[in-house]
Chain A
Amino acid sequence: APFQLDLYNYFLTS
């Protein structure tokens, strides 16, 4: 099933 990117991790690491 498709999963949704975790925005918290995305913005924390970028």
Chain B
Amino acid sequence: MLEARLDTANLFKSAVDAIKDLVQDCNFDCNDSGIALQAMDNSHVALVSMMLKAEAFSPFRCDRNIALGVNLTSLTKVLRAAGRDDTLTLKAEDAPDVLNLVFEATAQDRISEYDLKLMDIDQEHLGIPDTEYAATISMPSAEFKRITTDLMAMSESVTIEATKDGVKFSSTGDIGNGSITLRQHTPVDKPNETVEIELSEPVALTFSLKYLTNFCKAQPLSNQVKLCLSAEVPLMVEYGLEGGSYLRFYLAPKIGD
């Protein structure tokens, strides 16, 4: 059986909120190393890969592999009932029909309990290759959100160009064009504001802003976001969580002209 308890429901609420508009039905694959999810959007443009390691929970117990087939719209409805600071416990039997969720507000001695019906989801597990990216950019997640929102007003796509001088986000649309350039920036006193660019070779790729703004819903999960780019391969956008857990999005580039 599965039993996994989070100190604050916040993490799970934000993670589900960040992916629910991209994918509808997906399996939460549980085993002794944690809870993983991999799902692709219907148009095959974006892939979500989430790993919540066992260490993120206390306690965590899962004796065998359990796939929880969940409709994310339904899960969102249930999670709305959880306070951000409630503890959240997920429980399921070995061959479950339901996922049991318990929210506890210890200060108020209030316990709420929900059973969410599960579904059978036949999902192909795709292999995500280890990629040596040409450019890896670490930047504040709030800054990335601001850039995608601002450029969305100009165009439906953005070109991300990484060079030794910095990273440039630019968009051209009917009303004109705009760009934002960030240079490497490592303030000693404010590590959350760090912009770091690791570059093995310059790279420029174009992406749909609709998807990128969607990914930015994960912003509350992490102060920093990592963008990994290589020519003609999917962009990886990573929100790192404590203890090696993560929420990653892969986005297909727009190729050709």
Contact = CB atoms under 8 A, between A and B. Distances in A.
Nearest to A8: B44
Contact of B47 (A1, A2, A11): A11
Contact of A4 (B40, B233, B250, B255): B255
Q: Tell which of A5, A6, A9 has the most Cβ of chain B within 10 Å.
A: A5
Interface residues of A, number: 13
A9 B250 CA distance: 13
**Closest 8 pairs between A and B when the two form their complex, measured CB to CB:** A11-B126, A5-B252, A2-B254, A8-B44, A14-B129, A4-B252, A6-B44, A7-B252
Contact of A3 (B47, B124, B127, B254): B254
Interface of B: 40, 44-47, 124, 126-129, 206, 208, 232-234, 250, 252-257
Contacts of B45: 4, 7
Given A2-B206, A14-B127, A8 B253 contact: no
A5 B254 CA distance: 7
A2 B257 contact: yes
A4 B126 contact: no
28 contacts: A1-B257, A2-B254, A2-B255, A3-B256, A4-B45, A4-B208, A4-B252, A4-B253, A4-B254, A4-B255, A5-B232, A5-B252, A5-B253, A5-B255, A6-B252, A7-B40, A7-B46, A7-B234, A7-B252, A8-B126, A9-B44, A10-B233, A10-B234, A10-B252, A11-B126, A11-B127, A11-B128, A11-B129
A10 B233 CA distance: 8
Given A2-B257, A7-B44, A14-B129, 4 more contacts: A9-B44, A11-B127, A11-B129, A11-B250
B151 to A, nearest CB: 17
A2 B158 CA distance: 13
Contacts of B232: 5
Contacts of A7: 40, 44-47, 234, 250, 252
B124 to A, nearest CB: 8
